[in-house]
């Protein structure tokens, strides 16, 4: 489904990703872990089409297409969804308004008819129930005045409504209380399907107790320095990243 | 804007022709060749205008006084807008579309304007009318206008053109005209007082709640009265009225200068809500052409507990200079001002309000949303004045600016004068730039860049749009979208 080859990305003059290779197949769950500043969010944003991040080498193919040639909205319509590490606030725009515009753009693109107000509300309400979220969320302005955890849940709500083929969750588990973590996990698990895939960026093995990954990758200094199965996450929990990235630690010392 | 139901075209044509025949009788729409008053302004021209309109003597006297006063004035220079000096002797002051200026069919109309109509989904006939094409029967169905009028008349509500009001209700006009905006008020209001051609008149009698939104859209004679329009709305004690000015499609208009005056009078316990969507031709991307819109709008809460609310969405005109104001004279009276002003390309807007607190416990609310795109320049200028008599006056002002490009500008000039220590005046202001991050966030949800911009802008304007009548709000959103096309950068 997703093939990343030798991906190099710079922000300004600064190289951030230095040759990423990653294959994600339909039906798989991949976890990406790694120290702060290693480039995890950069990778996630590049996949979603963030402008201003220069791809200096390499390629990304998604469902037989050149992903990097697509605009962000085209990627969304092709089934890519990024749950942001830091969701944005859109003052004055009700959540329900964004959800509806988003769903209808995606449906149009897929050649499906737009949902009318009633059908749309039914869809959204079933997703709210799934995520144990209150209906009042729909009528609040997008992320405005939301607590950290509410913002993360709101991302999952959007994901649940848009039903993406490839969901990328950038630290959606950070800042969630334990109950919220479980609901988010059930939201992701509800989406699991042989036709879909999930990439989880996380710092904590905890999430992986609820969403079991097929592969775990460690990103450090803009490269994947180690890949393994779910047990790698446990090992990291135990040992930290130092043993994988001796160089940075040397450099980081004064 | 809702399409009025139209009757069969032939029937309508016949009705319209008879209506036009009426107007011939009144000397309204006469043979262009003969009726053009030579350009330029003089007492003779004013006498001629007044005579052609069969006006009562007091009206002519008032016009002449205004004219004499105007001669002593010089054009104001204090606002932040820039424009070349206007040659007042080069303007035609009486009616008559300039011969030759009127397009014969849509092929003679600016294609940019036509594209806009298409985007707004305006029916063909209506497009022709808006574009000023010399069509025989226009869309503004006379039958709709008359049914409407009959219904209102049965309730004692007067809603007619200013000229008609002068003929049919001269005493009411005489009593209230200039009582809110005197002819000495300011340069452009004085000019308007001398030469105004037509406009709207509304009187809602005591205790009457006007059962429908009154709109110039239904008034057939609105065309070509635009340049120096005069509107007078009176809500008698306990009366309520909501008035919509203009329609939401851009008007082609060959008049460069617009200097309208609107006076609102709310007596005891009366409520007036005045909504405007203004989208005259803003000029092209380089700033050529476009309307200069210099308007004086003022409401007088003359009785206790009177309430006046202005809501405006300004997207058109090359230059806008406009401060709908409220004089809060009655105790416990309230004034509101909700505004969205958008400037794109080379447009300039200097707009805001004045709230003059005179009565006790008077309240005012100001919510101003300025959107600047391209090389546009947008200024909010507001005055909150609390006189010594206005014990416990309260004002809340919120001024937000949204910048869409690196070349546009937003300015805020709040003036506050408080002469009573028990007053509470609050002012909040924000300026934000539409963020790449926000746009990316929305696009990553599948919205096109255009839709993303529109969603953010609509969110920004929400507090104002919710004050508009429902249909108008939807139209206003569409209009903003069209005005903002390609505005990001
Ligand atoms: N817009 C930017 N301008 C300059 N540097 C940036 C920008 N965005 C990211 N970086 C840098 O790129 C590097 C990678 O950042 P990124 O956000 O991808 O890290 P991360 O692995 O997601 O970290 P965390 O675990 O803290 O979320 C960091 O050093 C960061 O400072
Ligand atoms: Mg990150």
Residue-wise pLDDT for B18-60, tens only, equals 433 333 222 223 333 335 566 778 898 899 888 888 899 999 9
Chain A residue numbers touching B462 (CB-CB < 8 A): 92-93
d(CA B173, CA B196): 14
> What is the position in ligand 1's atom list of the atom closest to the CA of A85?
27
Which ligand lies nearest the alpha carbon of A170?
2
d(CA A66, CA B182): 69
Q: How distant, in Å, are the alpha carbons of A122, B411, B462, B464 from that of B368?
A: 36, 12, 11, 8
Checking if the pLDDT of B348 tops 70, the result is yes
Checking if the pLDDT of B13 tops 60, the result is no
Closest chain A residue to B451, measured at CA: A101
Cβ neighbourhood burial of A88 (10 Å; 0-12, 13-18, 19+): middle
d(CA B181, CA B327): 11
pLDDT at residue A239, rounded to an integer: 82
CA–centroid distance, B391 to ligand 1, in Å, is 56
Q: Identify the sign of the CA torsion B319, B138, B142, B167.
A: positive
d(CA B343, CA B370): 8
* Residue owning tokens 């507990």: B305
* pLDDT tens sequence across B209-265: 998 888 765 443 334 445 788 999 999 999 999 998 865 555 555 556 778 899 999
Res. B328 pLDDT band, cuts 50 70 90: very high
With CB atoms and an 8 Å threshold, state whether A49 touches B444: yes
pLDDT at residue B353, rounded to an integer: 93
Taking each helix axis as running N to C, give the angle between helix B142-154 and helix B9-25, from 0 to 180 degrees, rounded to the nearest 10.
70
Six-digit token pair at B439?
A: 């746009």
Is residue A39 lining ligand 1, measured as CB closer than 6 Å? yes
pLDDT at residue B78, rounded to an integer: 61
Q: Which residue has the higher pLDDT, A113 or B479?
A: A113
Res. A152 pLDDT band, cuts 50 70 90: very high
pLDDT at residue B305, rounded to an integer: 98
* pLDDT tens sequence across A28-39: 999 999 999 999
pLDDT at residue B121, rounded to an integer: 63
**Percentage of residues in chain A with pLDDT exceeding 90?**
68
**Percentage of residues in chain A with pLDDT exceeding 70?**
96
d(CA B367, CA B363): 14
Checking if the pLDDT of B99 tops 60, the result is no
Q: What angle do CA A67, A70, A72 make, to 5 degrees?
A: 105
Six-digit token pair at B484?
A: 């903002």
Question: Residue B358: which of B311, B325, B309 has the closest Cα?
Answer: B325
Q: How far is CA B386 from the centre of its chain?
A: 27
Q: Which residue has the higher pLDDT, B374 or B78?
A: B374
Which ligand lies nearest the alpha carbon of A33?
1
d(CA A72, CA A86): 17
d(CA B415, CA A220): 56
Rounded to a whole number of angstroms, the distance from the CA of B440 to the nearest CA of chain A is 7
Q: Which of A49, A82, A93 sits opposite B459 (nearest CB)?
A: A93
| Residues recorded for chain A | 254
* pLDDT tens sequence across B129-170: 666 554 433 333 344 455 577 788 899 999 888 888 999 999
Is residue A52 lining ligand 1, measured as CB closer than 6 Å? no
CA–centroid distance, A140 to ligand 2, in Å, is 26
Is residue A36 lining ligand 1, measured as CB closer than 6 Å? yes
| For the ranges B2-6, B51-55, B445-449, the one whose mean pLDDT is highest | B445-449
Which ligand lies nearest the alpha carbon of A35?
1
d(CA B477, CA B483): 10
Rounded to a whole number of angstroms, the distance from the CA of A109 to the nearest CA of chain B is 9
Mean predicted lDDT score pLDDT of chain A: 90
Rounded to a whole number of angstroms, the distance from the CA of B435 to the nearest CA of chain A is 10
Interface predicted TM-score (ipTM) of this complex, two decimals: 0.94
* A182-191, B283-292, B308-317, B470-479: the lowest-pLDDT one: B283-292
Strands in A14-24's sheet, in edge-to-edge order, are A14-24, A2-11, A53-62, A65-66
CA–centroid distance, A36 to ligand 1, in Å, is 8
Res. B200 pLDDT band, cuts 50 70 90: confident
Rounded to a whole number of angstroms, the distance from the CA of A251 to the nearest CA of chain B is 32
Which ligand lies nearest the alpha carbon of A221?
1
Q: Which residue has the higher pLDDT, B299 or B319?
A: B299
With CB atoms and an 8 Å threshold, state whether B447 touches A101: yes
Checking if the pLDDT of B92 tops 80, the result is no
* Residue owning tokens 């002449």: B64
CB atoms within 10 A of CB B21: 10
d(CA B248, CA B376): 21
Six-digit token pair at A210?
A: 């609820």
Size of interface A-B (CB pairs under 8 A): 79
Mean predicted lDDT score pLDDT of chain B: 79
DSSP A49: T
d(CA B273, CA B301): 12
With CB atoms and an 8 Å threshold, state whether A76 touches B443: yes
Q: Which of A72, A89, A91 sits opposite B444 (nearest CB)?
A: A72
Q: Which of B400, B441, B450, B462 to mutate to test the interface with A (most CBs of A within 10 A)?
A: B441
d(CA B68, CA B42): 10
The average pLDDT across B193-207 equals: 91
pLDDT at residue B215, rounded to an integer: 76
Is residue A234 lining ligand 1, measured as CB closer than 6 Å? no
State which of A33, A37, A202, A225 you would mutate to test the pocket of ligand 1, scoring each by most atoms of that ligand within 8 A of its C-beta.
Answer: A37
The 3-class secondary structure across chain B, one letter per residue, is CCCCCCCCHHHHHHHHHHHHHHHHHCCCCCCHHHHCCCCCCCHHHHHHHHHHCCCCHHHHHHHHHHHHHHHCCCCCCCCCCCCCCCCHHHCCCCCCCCCCCCCCCHHHCCHHHHHHHHHHCCCHHHHHHHCCCCCCCCCCCHHHHHHHHHHHHHCCCEEEEHHHHHHHCHHHHHHHCCCCCCCCCCHHHHHHHHHCCECEEEEECCCCECCCCEEHHHCHHHCCCCCCEEEEEEECCCCEEEEEECCCCCCCCCCCEECCEEEEEECCCCEEEEEEEECCCCCCCCCCCCCEEEEEEEEEECCCCCEEEEEEEECCCCEEEECCEEEECCCCCEEEEEEEEEECCCCEEEEEEEEEECCCCCEEEEEEEEEECCCCEEEEEEEEEECCCCCCCEEEEEEEEEECCCCCEEEEEEEEEECCCCCEEEEEEEEEECCHHHHHHHHCCCCCHHHHHHHHHHHHHHHHHCCCCHHHHHHHHHHHHHHCCCCCC
d(CA B26, CA B53): 7
Beta bridge partners of B214: B243
| Residues recorded for chain B | 489
Residue B461 CB partners (closer than 8 Å, separation 6+):
A92, B313, B340, B369, B371, B480
Q: Which of B436, B446, B460 sits opposite A73 (nearest CB)?
A: B446
Closest chain B residue to A162, measured at CA: B445
Rounded to a whole number of angstroms, the distance from the CA of B285 to the nearest CA of chain A is 27
Q: Which residue has the higher pLDDT, B110 or B185?
A: B185
Q: How distant, in Å, are the alpha carbons of A227, B263, B265, B418 from that of B178?
A: 82, 8, 11, 27
d(CA B80, CA B321): 9
pLDDT at residue B124, rounded to an integer: 64
* A163-177, A229-243, B159-173: the lowest-pLDDT one: A229-243
d(CA A85, CA A19): 23
Checking if the pLDDT of A49 tops 80, the result is yes
d(CA B324, CA B296): 7
State which of A9, A20, A41, A202 you would mutate to test the pocket of ligand 1, scoring each by most atoms of that ligand within 8 A of its C-beta.
Answer: A41
Instruction: Judge whether B216 and B222 are in contact, CB under 8 Å.
Output: yes
| For the ranges A75-89, A129-143, B111-125, the one whose mean pLDDT is highest | A75-89
Q: What angle do CA B254, B257, B260 make, to 5 degrees?
A: 115
Chain B residue numbers touching A49 (CB-CB < 8 A): 440, 443-444
CA–centroid distance, B203 to ligand 1, in Å, is 65
d(CA B326, CA B306): 11
Helix, coil or strand: residue A230:
helix
Question: Residue B158: which of B227, B224, B217, B236 has the closest Cα?
Answer: B236
With CB atoms and an 8 Å threshold, state whether B441 touches A101: no
Question: Residue A1: which of A30, A32, A41, A33 has the closest Cα?
Answer: A30
> What is the position in ligand 1's atom list of the atom closest to the CA of A171?
27
pLDDT at residue B287, rounded to an integer: 59
CB atoms within 10 A of CB B219: 20
pLDDT at residue B225, rounded to an integer: 44
pLDDT at residue B365, rounded to an integer: 97
Is residue A37 lining ligand 1, measured as CB closer than 6 Å? yes
H or E segment at A144? none
Six-digit token pair at B122?
A: 């305006």
With CB atoms and an 8 Å threshold, state whether A98 touches B448: no
pLDDT at residue B9, rounded to an integer: 38
**Percentage of residues in chain B with pLDDT exceeding 90?**
41
Rounded to a whole number of angstroms, the distance from the CA of B477 to the nearest CA of chain A is 13
The average pLDDT across A62-70 equals: 95
With CB atoms and an 8 Å threshold, state whether B446 touches A77: yes
d(CA B203, CA A180): 60
Its pTM stands at 0.81
Instruction: Spell out which chain A residues touch chain B, with contact meaning CB-CB distance below 8 angstroms.
Output: 48-52, 71-73, 75-77, 81-82, 84, 87-93, 97-98, 101-103, 105-106, 109, 141-142, 158, 162
d(CA A4, CA A20): 7
Six-digit token pair at B116?
A: 């806009």
Is residue A202 lining ligand 1, measured as CB closer than 6 Å? no
Closest chain A residue to B443, measured at CA: A73
Is residue A42 lining ligand 1, measured as CB closer than 6 Å? yes
Q: Which of B436, B439, B446 to mutate to test the interface with A (most CBs of A within 10 A)?
A: B446
Q: Which of B436, B447, B455 sits opposite A73 (nearest CB)?
A: B447
Q: How far is CA A79 from the centre of its chain?
A: 12
Chain B residue numbers touching A88 (CB-CB < 8 A): 435, 437-438, 441
Checking if the pLDDT of B419 tops 70, the result is yes
């Amino acid at each position: 489904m997703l093939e990343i080859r030798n991906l190099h990305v710079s922000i300004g003059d600064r190289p951030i990703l230095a040759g990423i290779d990653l294959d994600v197949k339909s039906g798989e769950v991949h976890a990406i872990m790694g120290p702060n500043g290693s480039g995890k969010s950069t990778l996630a944003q590049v996949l979603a089409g963030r402008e201003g991040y220069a791809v200096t080498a390499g390629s990304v193919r998604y469902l037989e297409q050149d992903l990097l040639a697509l605009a962000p909205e085209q990627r969304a319509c092709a089934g890519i969804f990024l749950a942001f590490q830091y969701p944005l606030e859109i003052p004055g725009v009700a959540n329900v308004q964004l959800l509806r515009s988003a769903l209808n753009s995606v449906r149009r693109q897929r050649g499906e008819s737009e949902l009318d107000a009633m059908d749309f509300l039914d869809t959204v309400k079933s997703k709210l129930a799934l995520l144990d979220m209150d209906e009042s969320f729909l009528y609040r302005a997008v992320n405005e005045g939301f607590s950290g955890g509410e913002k993360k849940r709101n991302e999952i709500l959007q994901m649940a409504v848009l039903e993406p083929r490839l969901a990328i969750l950038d630290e959606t588990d950070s800042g969630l209380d334990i109950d919220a973590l479980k609901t988010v996990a059930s939201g992701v698990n509800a989406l699991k399907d042989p036709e879909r895939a999930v990439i989880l960026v996380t710092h904590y093995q905890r999430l992986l107790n609820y969403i079991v990954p097929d592969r775990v990758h460690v990103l450090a200094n803009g490269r994947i320095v180690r890949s393994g199965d779910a047990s790698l996450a446990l090992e990291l929990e135990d040992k930290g990243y130092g043993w994988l990235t001796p160089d940075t630690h040397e450099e980081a010392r004064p | 804007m809702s399409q009025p139901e139209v009757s069969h075209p032939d029937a309508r044509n016949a009705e319209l022709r008879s209506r036009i025949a009426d107007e011939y009788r009144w000397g309204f729409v006469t043979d262009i060749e003969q009726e053009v008053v030579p350009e330029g302004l003089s007492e003779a021209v004013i006498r001629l205008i007044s005579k052609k309109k069969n006006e009562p003597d007091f009206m002519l006297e008032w016009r002449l006084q205004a004219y004499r006063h105007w001669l002593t004035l010089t054009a104001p220079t204090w606002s932040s807008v820039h424009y070349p000096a206007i040659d007042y002797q080069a303007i035609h002051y009486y009616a008559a579309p300039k011969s030759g200026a009127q397009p014969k069919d849509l092929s003679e109309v600016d294609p940019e304007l036509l594209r806009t109509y298409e985007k707004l989904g305006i029916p063909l006939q209506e497009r022709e009318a808006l574009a000023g094409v010399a069509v025989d029967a226009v869309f503004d169905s006379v039958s709709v206008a008359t049914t409407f009028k009959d219904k209102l008349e049965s309730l004692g509500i007067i809603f007619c053109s200013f000229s008609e009001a002068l003929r049919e209700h001269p005493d009411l006009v005489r009593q209230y005209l200039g009582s809110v905006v005197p002819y000495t008020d300011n340069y452009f209001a004085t000019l308007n007082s001398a030469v105004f051609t037509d406009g709207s008149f509304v009187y809602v009698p005591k205790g009457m709640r006007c059962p429908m939104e009154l709109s110039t859209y239904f008034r057939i004679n609105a065309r070509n009265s635009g340049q120096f329009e005069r509107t007078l709305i009176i809500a008698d004690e306990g009366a309520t009225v909501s008035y919509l000015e203009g329609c939401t499609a851009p008007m082609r208009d060959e008049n460069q200068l617009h200097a309208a005056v609107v006076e609102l009078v709310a007596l005891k316990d009366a409520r007036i809500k005045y909504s405007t969507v203004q989208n005259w031709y803003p000029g092209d991307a380089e700033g050529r052409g476009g309307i200069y819109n210099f308007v004086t709008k003022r409401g007088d809460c003359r009785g206790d507990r009177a309430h006046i609310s202005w809501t405006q969405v300004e997207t058109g005109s090359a230059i806008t200079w406009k401060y709908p104001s409220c004089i809060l004279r009655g105790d416990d009276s309230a004034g509101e001002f909700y505004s969205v002003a958008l400037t794109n390309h080379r447009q300039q807007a200097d707009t805001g309000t004045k709230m003059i607190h005179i009565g006790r416990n008077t309240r005012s609310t100001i919510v101003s949303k300025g959107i600047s795109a391209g090389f546009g320049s947008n200024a909010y200028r507001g005055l909150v004045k609390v006189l010594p008599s206005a014990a416990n006056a309260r004002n809340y002002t919120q001024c937000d600016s949204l910048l869409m490009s690196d070349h546009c500008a937003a300015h805020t000039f709040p003036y506050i004068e408080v002469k009573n220590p028990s007053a509470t005046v609050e002012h909040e202001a924000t300026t934000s730039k539409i963020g790449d991050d926000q746009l990316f966030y929305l696009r990553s949800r599948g919205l096109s860049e255009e839709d993303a911009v529109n969603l953010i802008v609509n969110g920004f304007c929400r507090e104002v749009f919710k004050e508009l009548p429902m249909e108008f709000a939807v139209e206003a959103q569409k209009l903003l979208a069209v005005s903002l096309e390609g505005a990001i950068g």
